[in-house]
Structure 1
Amino acid sequence: MSVEEKFDNAKDKVAGKAKEVEGKVTGDKAREAEGKAQNLFGKAKDKFADAADAVKDKTEEAVDAVKDGIDNLKKK
């Protein structure tokens, strides 16, 4: 995950939490719900980026394994 993605996701989580607290303090249920949704959206983006990174890592490992296998066959 890039630094920009981390910053953007953190921004969503912090802004969402702030809106949620503001909604609780003022009694504005809509603002509170908006904040919760934004906070969850930031967390979901983190999880998605982590999953994408894991898939990328596994794909690179698989490609390397295939290349190693081909190199070993060429040596025989």
Structure 2
Amino acid sequence: MAGEQKAKAKTEQAKGKAKETIGRAVGNERMEAEGRAEQSKGDARQAKEKTKDVFKH
């Protein structure tokens, strides 16, 4: 389960980065903001999983 969540976090971060880059390239501020939000969501998920790993060991 933890590995699945870590992979999901990485996927969210990558999708968010791509969305932000595309939004910036085409001048779409909404898409750029959505990309940043998605990256933040991935960052939060990754932090949560790292915290769980610390307490697991």
TM-score normalized by the length of structure 1: 0.67
Alignment of structure 1 residues 1-76 onto 2, 5 Å: 2-57=2-57
- How large is the RMSD of aligned CA atoms in angstroms? 1.4
For structure 2, the residue ranges without an aligned partner over 5 or more in a row are none
**Percent same amino acid among aligned pairs?**
33
Q: Any idea what the Cα deviations from partners look like across 1:5-39, whole Å, max 9, x if unmatched?
A: 12101110000001000100110001000001101
- Structure with the bigger RCO (C-alpha within 8 Å, sep 6+) is 2
Moved over 2 A (4+): none
How many residues align? The count is 57
